[in-house]
Amino acid sequence: MLLITYKCNLHCSYCYEPKQQNFRMSATKAKQIISEQLSLLGDDYDSVEIQFMGGEPLLEFPLIKEVSEWLWSLSMNKELMVLFAPTNGTLLNDEMKSWFTANKDRINLGLSFDGDQNMQDINRSMSYRSVDVDYFVKTWPDQSVKMTISPETIKSLSDGVIYLHRRGFKYISADLAMGPNLSWNNSTLKDFQVELRKLVMFYMENPDLIPFSMLRLEITPSNFRKRKQVKTCSCGENMVCVDWTGKTYACHLFSPVAIPKDKAERSNKIYDFSNHSQFNSETCVKCMLNSVCSHCYGMNYLCTDDINKPSSFHCSAFKIMFAANCRFRLMQAEQNSDESKVRDIISVINRIS
């Protein structure tokens, strides 16, 4: 992950990035960092993904263009190199479209877009009309669109997901906005539960659609056989985030683009991300859902200052999501008359009840 800019042209309602710094990376520095990281890998890798991160990466389109074309000129096997940039889509002009279209098989843009017009405008600075959604659907049909759900838009979650399907997105990824200053509460958790039930019914009525990310959990009895805590993310190992100075962090959530600089520096001092014994929460290991929980250590650190301590809201929301997945998988199995699957899911439900 290359933090090519700390700047962003939007002010999203839920953004956890402090926006106190306007640092940007030079193309020369980006090439140096990539060369150093590739040399550290040697030949011991299956593929390499390079992400141009922000802030809003398209503020630095000339860097993305120069560095990408430099990478494509190297002798490295192009099939093993993946280039990617997340974007809010509002800055994409004709020049950028022409270049990205010409190179669409070599670099992906991932659109962050928060649902229907009302949701997008509430969350993302009234930017609905500034994004050419159809361009993303047409150019990268297999790239997921990324939704972020805020407390202000949670009651519209199902409407937003359905809207994005109808706009043509095959894959939809969604996260609940997280951070220390958001107004999640028991009422919004109930809204979350209601919206997931609506989406379960929507997908039952539209089985040809790929369910959005929150309804794609694996529900099998084997999930509960091993409850020992293991590190579930490659942050700080197979993943590295590098800022404009060349300093490395475990991922962008541990970097100064997401948290104050002193807190980011502290994470490098107190955690050895290759030492998996550090990723062992005494609380989480007792939970029956421990083996299927995502355990986002960066978000834990952002919200609670402890990689092993999720926020109480995160725990509650995940339990609601898991229950919705159980409901969805059971209804699918019953509809398909898959008696073995029905028995498996009922055994899971009985265990978590």
* Structural domain contains residue 120: yes
Q: Kindly report, residue by residue over 309-351, the tens digit of the pLDDT.
A: 888 888 899 999 999 999 999 999 999 999 999 999 999 888 8
Q: Is residue 234 part of a domain?
A: no
134 located within any domain: yes
State the total domains in the chain: 1
Task: Tell me how far apart the alpha carbons of residues 248 and 251 are, in angstroms, rounded to a whole number.
Answer: 8
On whether residue 207 sits in a domain, the answer given is: yes
* Domain membership flag for residue 119: yes
**Residue type at 144?**
S
Listed range (35-39, 75-79, 96-100, 296-300) with the worst mean pLDDT:
75-79
pLDDT of residue 197: 98
* Structural domain span for residue 82: 2-217
Label residue 23 by pLDDT band (50, 70, 90): confident
Strand partners, 112: 146
Q: What is the pLDDT of residue 179?
A: 74
Give the per-residue pLDDT at 8: 93
Beta strands in the chain (DSSP E): 2-3, 48-53, 81-87, 107-111, 145-149, 172-176, 241-242, 248-249
Strand blocks (E) in 204-344:
241-242, 248-249
Averaged pLDDT for residues 244-255: 93
Residue 266 lies in a domain: no
Whether the pLDDT of residue 285 is over 90: the answer is no
Residue 307 lies in a domain: no
Look at residue 229 in the predicted model and tell me its pLDDT.
62
CATH of residue 149's domain is 3.20.20.70
Does 28 fall in a domain? yes
In this predicted structure, which of 142-156, 222-236, 276-290 has the lowest mean pLDDT? 222-236
Q: Averaged over 222-227, what is the pLDDT?
A: 63
The pLDDT of residue 278 is above 60: yes
Write out the DSSP string of 42-63: TT--S-EEEEEESS-GGGGHHH
